[in-house]
Amino acid sequence: DAKTTQPNSMESNEEEPVHLPCNHSTISGTDYIHWYRQLPSQGPEYVIHGLTSNVNNRMASLAIAEDRKSSTLILHRATLRDAAVYYCILRDGNSGGYQKVTFGIGTKLQVIP
Amino acid sequence: AAGVIQSPRHLIKEKRETATLKCYPIPRHDTVYWYQQGPGQDPQFLISFYEKMQSDKGSIPDRFSAQQFSDYHSELNMSSLELGDSALYFCASSFVSSHEQYFGPGTRLTVT
């Protein structure tokens, strides 16, 4: 499986944008980039996914480098509720359905009031 | 909107006992996944079911078994419990073709 590399931790001030980086230099052409997050004492939560183009949804934006070897999850205005561990995960789009999520070492985001 | 339901939320068992965890997926979701998260660790995939058939298997001990029933709920059965089985157990559900998995709140199992 292609691997991802994320910083262990990051800090952000409340109401400021947050850019969470992820490196995936061995990504294959059919790998989708997914982001999940896990708030304290809760189950993981899907955030966003993309293949080649940048993506936006109500929670965040995903910026994908042109060579797809890195991506950045953007939280436009961090709130205290965004304090969580953020996981960047690659999932093969050719493997069919029912594909597990393989969590690696994510980034623990601390939001400072 | 309905979410994934897991029961019980907390369970305390002694070594060598058995435990059964239940998962009720989001209505109409056809795929269920089980994950284990040990203290201070990231979630690890155990097993999944698609349309009541086992679809994938991860690092699930032989002491554990699981199944998905005709109403799509799933149960994780754990026997000969060990101290190391103490963990959070998450169930997730999705449509097989979807990129999004929806996780339940988890069952915290404590083995004493």
Q: What is the pLDDT of residues B25-71, one digit of tens each?
A: 999 999 999 999 999 999 999 999 999 999 999 989 999 999 999 99
Q: How confident is the model at residue B97 (pLDDT cuts 50, 70, 90)?
A: confident
Exposure letters A79-110 (e unless 16+ CB within 10 A, then b): eeebbbbbbbbbbeeeeeebbbbbbeebbbbe
- Nearest-CA neighbor of B47 among B31, B58, B38? B58
Tell the residue number behind the tokens 């293949």, with chain if given. A51
* pLDDT average, residue stretch B3-24: 98
Contact yes or no for A101 and B45 at CB 8 A: yes
* pLDDT average, residue stretch B65-84: 96
Query: pLDDT at position A101, please?
Result: 86
Separation CA B90–CA B34 (nearest Å):
6
Examine the pLDDT at B96 and tell me if it is beyond 90. Answer: no
Structure tokens at A66: 């042109």
Exposure letters B74-86 (e unless 16+ CB within 10 A, then b): bebebeebeeebb
Contact yes or no for B101 and A32 at CB 8 A: no
Task: Point out the residue among B58, B96, B104 whose CB comes nearest to the CB of A43.
Answer: B104
CA-nearest residue to B100 within chain A is A46
Q: Give the pLDDT confidence of A59-108 residue by residue, as tens digits.
A: 999 999 999 999 999 999 999 999 999 999 998 877 666 678 889 899 99
Query: pLDDT at position A93, please?
Result: 77
